[in-house]
Amino acid sequence: MRAALLALLLLAAGCPAGLEAQQHVSKLRVLAVRAEPPELILMADAGLPSTRLTALAVDPTGAAISMRFALCTDLSGVPSPTLPCPGDAGIDLPDSGPFSAQLDLSDPRILAFAAAAQLDGGAFDAGGLVQTLDDGVPLLVGFTARAVASIPGAPAETLSGFQTVTLRTAARGPADVNPELIDLGIGDGGVVVRGQVVRLQPFTAAKDDPSKRHGYSFFTTAGSISSLRSTDTTATGQPAPTWVDWTAPPTAQAVTLWVVVRDGRGGTGWIEREVLVK
């Protein structure tokens, strides 16, 4: 089973090396990566699954940004931050739109890599293999963002990171559904003046599964945010407020705000808003 072979091959890829996000965005950043669908589900006689990866890549300087994605081939464990993926340790994924690429497990290069690994002998018994796929296998994807300034001769800036996409059977149900941020409340919706403290309140569409817990991350190009993160559910399962306070900058300017929502199961969504501070 080619899908099972690929799952075993990438089982050792482990978890991504998380990037420590900060609220203030002043240069090239990748604030999130979304997979659509968020999980790869193996279905009998349905062929190998695929997903589209899209990065929330931003640069307030206005530099032109390009993205490169690759399926990582390093199997040594948790990847080093310097792992060349994309690069020598990755299989480049084809572009599928702005800041996007397609991860298709039927790609001949991925199948050839799986076949070359020769993992078809005895490492797992049949029951162990089925259980592994039922539990889910994290596939490691590396990405590199590159920003080229409009000023002639200015150096290009690059930023690299990792993301995982889960490959599994349908034993735990259908693929996760990405959460959808439908609005961001900014204060009372009126004019924001210099130095004013206003509430940022994210609004999401109804959850496809009420048991999901949404976590939010907040970012801004100017001013300060009281907390990088919020959640809609406490550790004890109680509802929690998801808003944070934003203090507008002391000078009049246009400010961009971003909110990223994650459901803890691989699902990701985001929203961007611009505010004119007077």
The phi and psi torsions of 175 (rounded to 5 degrees) equal -60, 150
C-alpha distances in Å from residue 134, one per residue of 65, 114, 138, 264: 38, 20, 12, 18
Tens-place pLDDT, residues 215-266: 999 999 999 999 999 999 998 889 999 999 999 999 999 999 999 999 999 9
What's the rounded Cα separation, in Å, for the pair 226 and 218?
A: 9
pTM of the model: 0.86
Collect all residues with Cβ–Cβ distance below 8 Å to 196 and sequence separation of at least 6: 187, 247, 248
Residue with tokens 């690429």: 101
* Torsion sign, CA atoms 71, 74, 76, 78: negative
Q: Taking Cα atoms as reference points, which of 155, 131, 113 lies closest to residue 28?
A: 155
> What is the fold, at CATH topology level, of the domain defined by 181-277?
Immunoglobulin-like (2.60.40)
Give the pLDDT of residue 177: 96
The pLDDT of 33-54, averaged and rounded, is 92
CB count within 10 Å of CB 112 equals 11
Per domain, the residue ranges of the chain are: 2-171, 181-277
pLDDT in tens, 66-84: 999 999 987 666 778 889 9
Does residue 135 contact residue 99 with C-beta atoms inside 8 Å? no
